[in-house]
Amino acid sequence: MSMDSTISSITQLSAATTQSQVQQAAQIAMLKKSMEAQAQSVLPLINSVAQTTPLGGSNNPSDTLGSVVNLSA
């Protein structure tokens, strides 16, 4: 193997490594964007469930009836 072919091989390897790193960075950026989009789309759903679920502060027993399970029986 001559010096020129060794240098060429190292250059090709370096270029392939750089391309791989760029692709990986792009994939991570897309993953982060998709996770942010999911978080934004699920917030209204979570908020709507939180607003319709009684927190036990009601004076009417029928509002919370059946919401507690006694596991000590």
Note the pLDDT tens digit of each residue in 8-59.
888 989 999 999 999 999 999 999 999 999 999 988 888 887 666 555 555 6
Say what the pLDDT of residue 22 is: 93
Residue 27 to residue 37: CA distance in whole angstroms: 15
Q: What is the extent of the structural domain holding 29?
A: 11-39
Assigned domain for 3 exists: no
Assigned domain for 33 exists: yes
Assigned domain for 5 exists: no
Tell me, rounded to whole angstroms, the distance of Cα 26 from its chain centroid. 16
Assigned domain for 32 exists: yes
Q: Model's pTM, two decimal places?
A: 0.51
Assigned domain for 53 exists: no
Say what the pLDDT of residue 45 is: 86
Total number of domains in the chain: 1
Say what the pLDDT of residue 17 is: 92
Say what the pLDDT of residue 28 is: 96
Assigned domain for 34 exists: yes
